[in-house]
Amino acid sequence: MKAFTYERAATPAGATAAFAKAPGARFIAGGTNLLDLMKLQIETPAHLIDVSRLALDTIEPTKEGGLRIGAMVRNTDLAADARVRRDYGLLTRALVAGASGQLRNKATTAGNLLQRTRCPYFYDTNQPCNKRQPGSGCAAIGGVSRTLAVLGASEACIATHPSDMAVAMRALDASVETVDAAGKARAIPIADFYRAPGTTPHLETMLEPGELITAVTLPKPMGGTHIYHKVRDRASYAFALISVAAVVQKDGSGRVALGGVAHKPWRVEAAEADMPRGAKAVASGLLAGATPSHDNAYKLPLVERTLAGVLAEAKG
């Protein structure tokens, strides 16, 4: 880990102002991913701005009937919130499927969205990785890729996004609220939040340098049965091989997003029209254009089968 200077921000404006004075700084909140990466010098900020104590740790109703989740709300608290459990069960289910109790106690809503990939080649600084060192190549392509992306990947990168929470957020049509150094606030729909890897896989989200996430908002509850099925080899404390987040209404309509298959939570709204026709029909739309490797081709039938299980469970 490279030496860094440290300051604690008292307000969101203070945090973004601090960044303006120290370009190349990073915001740190829970730290459960950033610090991990700093130890390996995958991340090497010279200055850390501690945003963990910002007063962004509450969950408030919005006037549209949804919820506004402060960026610093811990994963545990978000999962345990009575309103979330009642109206956005999918989100609670996704949160508690992720990481461990200890990590969820630290990890924040904003930080969870900004997790970086768990691709083993990204984590090994001896290996070429376009995400870690732009232009160095991708060792994962042609390498060990059982856990890696089958959708949306590029010739430069086949990493997946590791978050469970983000998959639920995508299915729930969440929106990411931010503020930049000039004090300008904006809201980014989660559908537009993550970038495709393309030739620049090191650029992962639409956030500008120094732009701070302040909240994630959820639209008003949509009802239905909420199911998050995370598939993994071991029963807990593991990243998803694939995951299926679904909200299924009584008439069989609904929405579905996938985790563990792409650089971002994967959702194809057009495919959801086929929900009443069953998993096969939805999966063919969801998985269109997939480019699996020998090691991860199993993810395609696995998605279809998992979705079938989820739809059967939703029917009861």
CB 222 → another protein: shortest distance, Å? 16
Closest approach, Cβ 184 to another protein, in A, equals 28
For another protein, the closer of residues 183 and 301 by Cβ is 301
Q: What crossing angle do the helices spanning 279-286 and 299-315 adopt, rounded to 10°?
A: 140
Alpha helices in the chain (DSSP H): 12-21, 34-39, 75-80, 82-87, 89-97, 101-106, 109-113, 120-123, 165-171, 190-193, 279-286, 299-315
Nearer to another protein, 188 or 271 (CB): 271
Nearer to another protein, 218 or 311 (CB): 311
Per DSSP, the residues of 122-154 read HH-TTS-BTTTSTTS-BSSTTS--TTS-SSS--
CB of 272 to another protein, least distance (A): 18
Nearer residue to another protein within complex by CB, 189 or 223: 223
Distance from C-alpha of 271 to C-alpha of 279, rounded to nearest angstrom: 10
* 8/195 with CB nearer another protein: 8
Q: In the complex, what is the shortest distance from the CB of residue 21 to another protein, in angstroms, rounded to a whole number?
A: 16
Sign of the CA dihedral running 240, 291, 125, 37: negative
- Least separation in angstroms between residue 191's CB and another protein is 26
The 3 state secondary structure assigned to 154-209 is CCCCCCCCCCCHHHHHHHCCCEEEEECCCCCEEEEEHHHHECCCCCCCCCCECCCC
